[in-house]
């Protein structure tokens, strides 16, 4: 097949993208996709080079793959360049500092423990619906300071938003338009200074507004960015990590023997099943990608998920191997826009693995799984599991 005709967003390729990703990687460092008027960058080294070059491959002109969508998205930190970007990063980091995260770790671990214990007591449960979704929504809402009675429906609305980063297809029309409007109404009524809990990110953004560090226009957008960037990505990353362990019982047993591999296990989960496809950039002059020239003002998309499976970088890229050093994966992006929330996502994943190591001896899938239909996010809609409970010993409680 002529690679320029590949449709990355066909239902078949969204469900199983790996064969077309390999075709693109093998074809060239950059491939023009006719249907979308878009250049696909699929190899690991090229993805990193493009993301590192924030001036040449800019996010300031919009990060959706489709210029019409750029015109209607709310500007976020991702669309900014230094020095403005640097100031916004500082405000995010203040809420995600090691001290801030340490202060909430125990509560997050307790939440993970209670949730897993309750599911394990049932013997069979859905790890996406009953664990990763509930857990992430609660933790992220706490971090932002969203009151408990304002959390209903957050996940569906936040998830819808990601579809706008893809092309002008049915998914965006059916999933985005309806729920995005609902998200807008929800945000204006729930994220007010009066409702947000002091100490959370949301409240600190209003403080930054008072200090003149952010504009009125940016303030609400920052809270929305935090919410949208933090929820769906983490839900699916934790879900995929559990999925990979359920598929690879040898790796679960290995983790039980060597719990010190837990941090790497989450990175390896993100390497093999990156939750985010990748956000686009615009090249502002004729642009060279390893010998291929892309005309000025073209859209390019660094394909994170493909880079993470590039056989030029990873040995046996399709194998889930928690002993592999996976930290250099690009599932959190690369360059100045690399994910600010990585430490929070890591902390949540570690809390979840700790709880599972304590309560689960072994697990198996009991029914069919399905992939979330989304233009950008990849993960499971459902993960039915049956578990054998672990014998809880004094040392596993410690």
Contact residues for ligand HEM, defined by CB under 6 A: 63, 77-78, 89, 92, 225-226, 229-230, 233-234, 237, 270, 275-276, 279, 304, 331-333, 337, 339-341, 344-345
Q: Report the nearest approach of ligand HEM to the CB of residue 174 (Å).
A: 24
What is the Cα Rg of the chain in Å? 21
Q: Report the nearest approach of ligand HEM to the CB of residue 391 (Å).
A: 31
Q: Which is nearer to ligand HEM, 115 or 139 (CB)?
A: 139
- Tell me the residue nearest to ligand HEM as measured from the CB: 341
Q: Report the nearest approach of ligand HEM to the CB of residue 50 (Å).
A: 10
Q: Report the nearest approach of ligand HEM to the CB of residue 386 (Å).
A: 26
Whether the bond into 108 is cis, omega within 30 of 0: no
Q: Report the nearest approach of ligand HEM to the CB of residue 85 (Å).
A: 6
Which residue from 337, 381, 322 is spatially nearest to 63, judged by alpha carbons? 337
Q: Which is nearer to ligand HEM, 263 or 386 (CB)?
A: 263
Q: Give 137-172 as a 3 state SS string.
A: HHHHHHHHCCCHHHCCCHHHHHHHHHHHHCCCCHHH
> Rounded to the nearest 5 degrees, what angle is found at the Cα of 111, between the Cα atoms of 152 and 109?
140
Q: Which is nearer to ligand HEM, 92 or 125 (CB)?
A: 92
Q: Which residues contact 299 (CB under 8 A, 6 or more apart)?
A: 37, 38, 39, 65, 66, 67, 280, 281, 282
Neighbours of 212 (CB within 10 A): 7
Q: Report the nearest approach of ligand HEM to the CB of residue 114 (Å).
A: 21
Q: Which is nearer to ligand HEM, 161 or 225 (CB)?
A: 225
DSSP per position, 42-108: -SHHHHHHHHH-TTTEESTT-SSSSHHHHTTSPP-GGG--TTHHHHHHHHHHHHS-HHHHHHHHHHH
DSSP one-letter code for 198:
T
CA 256 vs CA 93, 219, 237: distances in Å: 33, 44, 20
Q: Which is nearer to ligand HEM, 137 or 275 (CB)?
A: 275
Q: Which is nearer to ligand HEM, 93 or 173 (CB)?
A: 93
Q: Which is nearer to ligand HEM, 230 or 322 (CB)?
A: 230
Q: Report the nearest approach of ligand HEM to the CB of residue 313 (Å).
A: 17
Q: Which is nearer to ligand HEM, 58 or 366 (CB)?
A: 58
Q: Are 202 and 143 in contact (CB under 8 A)?
A: no
d(CA 275, CA 326): 15
Q: Which is nearer to ligand HEM, 59 or 169 (CB)?
A: 59
- Which strand (E) or helix (H) includes residue 287? strand 287-289
Tokens of 326: 């996976």
Which residue from 362, 343, 176 is spatially nearest to 263, judged by alpha carbons? 343
Which residue from 233, 238, 57 is spatially nearest to 162, judged by alpha carbons? 233
């Amino acid at each position: 097949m002529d690679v320029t005709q590949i449709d990355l967003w066909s239902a078949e390729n969204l469900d199983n993208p790996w064969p077309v990703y390999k075709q693109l990687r093998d074809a060239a460092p950059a491939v023009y996709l006719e249907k979308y008027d878009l250049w696909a960058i699929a190899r690991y080294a090229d993805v990193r080079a493009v993301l590192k070059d924030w001036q040449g491959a800019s996010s300031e002109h919009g990060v959706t793959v489709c210029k019409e969508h750029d015109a209607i998205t709310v500007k976020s930190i991702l669309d900014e360049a230094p020095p403005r970007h640097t100031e916004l990063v500082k405000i995010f980091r203040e809420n995600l500092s090691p001290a801030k995260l340490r202060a909430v770790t125990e509560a997050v671990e307790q939440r993970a423990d209670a949730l897993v214990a309750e599911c394990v007591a049932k013997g069979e449960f859905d790890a996406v619906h009953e664990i990763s979704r509930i857990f992430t929504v609660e933790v992220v809402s706490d971090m932002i300071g969203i009151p408990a009675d304002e959390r209903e429906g957050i996940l569906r609305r936040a998830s819808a938003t990601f579809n706008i980063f893809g092309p002008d297809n049915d998914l965006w029309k059916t999933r985005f338009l309806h729920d995005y409007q609902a998200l807008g109404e929800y945000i204006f009524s729930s994220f007010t200074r009066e409702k947000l809990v002091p100490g959370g990110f949301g409240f600190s953004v209003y403080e930054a507004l008072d200090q003149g560090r952010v504009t009125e226009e940016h303030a609400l957008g920052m809270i929305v960015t935090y919410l949208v960037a933090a929820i769906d990505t983490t839900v699916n990353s934790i879900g995929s990590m559990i999925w990979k362990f359920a598929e690879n019982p040898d790796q679960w047993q290995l983790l039980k023997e060597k719990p010190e591999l837990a941090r790497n296990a989450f990175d390896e989960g993100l390497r093999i099943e990156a939750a985010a496809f990748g956000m686009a950039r615009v090249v502002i002059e004729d642009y060279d990608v390893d010998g291929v020239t892309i005309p000025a003002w073209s859209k390019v998309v660094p394909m994170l998920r493909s880079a993470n499976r590039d056989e030029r970088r990873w040995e046996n890229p399709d194998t889930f191997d928690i002993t592999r050093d996976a930290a250099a994966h690009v599932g959190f992006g690369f360059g100045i826009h690399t994910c600010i929330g990585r430490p929070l996502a890591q902390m949540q994943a570690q809390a979840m693995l700790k709880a599972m190591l304590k309560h689960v001896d072994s697990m198996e899938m009991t029914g069919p799984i399905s992939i979330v239909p989304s233009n950008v996010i990849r993960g499971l809609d459902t993960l039915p599991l049956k578990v054998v409970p672990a014998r809880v010993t004094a040392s596993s409680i410690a």
